[in-house]
Structures are given as C-alpha cells and as structure tokens.
Amino acid sequence: MADGLLAEAVAQVRELIDAARASGDPEPTAMTLATGDARGRVSARIVLLKELDERGFAFYTNYESAKAAQLDELRHAALCLHWKTLRDGVQVRAEGVVEKTSVVESDAYFATRVRASQIGAWASLQSQTLPDRALLDARIAQYEREFEGRPVPRPPHWGGFRLVPDVIELWYGQRARLHDRIRYEQVDRRWSKRLLYP
Ligand SMILES: Cc1cc2nc3c(=O)[nH]c(=O)nc-3n(C[C@H](O)[C@H](O)[C@H](O)COP(=O)(O)O)c2cc1C
C-alpha cells in the first residue's frame, strides 16, 4: 500500500533518532535545512526537528527570519540529518514543500519552551542586523518586565513550518563495502521504494 511506504520511512527515521539519542548524541534532532529564492540563491542552516509524523518534519522559527523569507518565495526545501556515531554513520535526507504549522500547534509547542527561550522569541529580530549586543540584552530585559508574573504568549512572528516530504532517503554507511541508499519517493500521490547506487 502506497501510504504504508511513507509510514515505513517515517517509522525508520523516528527509530534512528531514538537510537541516536540513546547512544548519547547531544543533538539527535539537529538537521540542516536548505532553502532557496526565486533567483536560484540557496541558503542552509541547522534547525531542530520538533515533530515527525506522516504529515512531515516540523521545526520552529521566526516567521520574519531569512529562512522564512526564502520559504515564502520558494516553498520547496530540503533537509538532512546525520548521525556520525550511529552504526557506521547514517544520513536521512528529505525534500518537499513547506507549509506553516497550525496556530494551535505553534501555541502548544511554544508553551513547552523554557521561559528564557519564550522571552528570546520576543526579543530576537532573527536574521536582522544587531548593531550592538547590549541592544539584545535591553530587549530581553524589556520583555521580562512586560511579561513579569504572567505566562509569555507566543509572538505572532514565531511558529512552526512543516516540510511535507515527497522524497525521504535513508543512507547507511558500511565500513567494509559500499553504502546502502534506500529512496522513498512520491510521484502522482503514490509512494515507491527503491535502492540507489551509492
Ligand atoms: C544545533 C542548532 C540548533 C538550532 N535550532 C534552531 C531552530 O530550531 N530554529 C531556528 O530558528 N534556529 C535554530 N538554530 C539557528 C539557525 O541555525 C540559524 O542561525 C537561525 O535560524 C537564522 O537562520 P536564517 O537567518 O537563515 O533564517 C540552530 C542552530 C544550531 C547550531
């Protein structure tokens, strides 16, 4: 069944993250996110994978950041996770279109963050020029005062994106022989699975 293959790929990635966490990887959900703009300029940075299910790979960020501007312009993106010490090295790649998570989801995740991170989401004008570090400290102090004694609400400019995959590829390092690549791909709403030459 086509959806069964997506479920299989997602379950495999979740197992790998759990195994990486169990093996002591300090950032098992760190992933490189590549985005681009309409002129073909490409940019990559690390974000943390916060939710993974058959809907896709969700991460949280500032909706006014450079990455968000690129995602507004070109909805296609790619991401890559790598665990150096798992088995003989494992890589997961995913590609697809990115959409915003629902307001309800963003609120729910924001509520789980530690207070300092919540204040930081208000204080940081992510990707804009910071003329002086003291300005950031002043903005943090300002929002600490503003929300003193009450829960910090989610800023409207902060929330999640979800990469809805049409490609998921698992790459397993092999010390003694060539690596294994397993590519799950969705074409015309049907998922398929095949091996690729390494
Ligand atoms: C380990 C690690 C985890 C990070 N996690 C996030 C994240 O979840 N969300 C985020 O917006 N930035 C995260 N960052 C910062 C981004 O890499 C990046 O500096 C920031 O999002 C601005 O990117 P942009 O200017 O391309 O929008 C993380 C950086 C590192 C090194």
The whole model's pTM is what?
Answer: 0.96
Ligand 1 nearest atom to the CA of residue 48, by list position? 8
Provide mean pLDDT across the span 174-197. 93
What distance in Å separates the CA atoms of residue 20 and residue 179, rounded to the nearest whole number?
A: 19
Phi then psi for 43, rounded to 5 degrees? -140, 145
The predicted pLDDT at position 178 comes to 82
Radius of gyration over alpha carbons of the chain, in Å?
Answer: 19
Phi then psi for 116, rounded to 5 degrees? -60, -35
Ligand 1 pocket, residue 158 CB under 6 Å: no
* Residue of minimum CA distance from atom 29 in ligand 1: 46
Ligand 1 nearest atom to the CA of residue 65, by list position? 27
Q: Per residue in 143-164, pLDDT tens?
A: 999 999 999 999 999 999 999 9
What distance in Å separates the CA atoms of residue 59 and residue 29, rounded to the nearest whole number?
A: 10
Q: Per residue in 50-84, pLDDT tens?
A: 999 999 999 999 999 999 999 999 999 999 999 99
Ligand 1 probe mutation, 32, 42, 61, 81, most atoms within 8 A of CB: 61
The predicted pLDDT at position 46 comes to 98
Ligand 1 probe mutation, 31, 33, 42, 46, most atoms within 8 A of CB: 46
| Residue 139 predicted with pLDDT over 60 | yes
Question: Which residues are CB-neighbours of 41 under 8 A, at least 6 positions away?
Answer: none
| Residue 177 predicted with pLDDT over 90 | no
Count of CB atoms situated within 10 Å of the CB of 180: 14
CA distances in angstroms from 145 to 4, 142, 159, listed in the order given? 51, 5, 23
The predicted pLDDT at position 1 comes to 45
Element (H, E) at 171: strand 158-172
The predicted pLDDT at position 175 comes to 82
Torsion angle of alpha carbons 107, 79, 40, 38, nearest 10°? -30
Cα 33 to averaged position of ligand 1 atoms, centre (Å): 9
Q: Per residue in 1-26, pLDDT tens?
A: 447 999 999 999 999 999 999 999 99
Cα 152 to averaged position of ligand 1 atoms, centre (Å): 21
Residue 197 sits at the vertex; the CA angle it makes with 194 and 198, to the nearest 5 degrees, is 115
Ligand 1 nearest atom to the CA of residue 27, by list position? 1
Cα 78 to averaged position of ligand 1 atoms, centre (Å): 15
What distance in Å separates the CA atoms of residue 17 and residue 10, rounded to the nearest whole number?
A: 11
Cα 134 to averaged position of ligand 1 atoms, centre (Å): 21
Count of CB atoms situated within 10 Å of the CB of 103: 12
Provide mean pLDDT across the span 170-178. 88
Ligand 1 nearest atom to the CA of residue 67, by list position? 27
Q: Per residue in 81-118, pLDDT tens?
A: 999 999 899 999 999 999 999 999 999 999 999 999 99
- What crossing angle do the helices spanning 133-146 and 115-123 adopt, rounded to 10°? 120
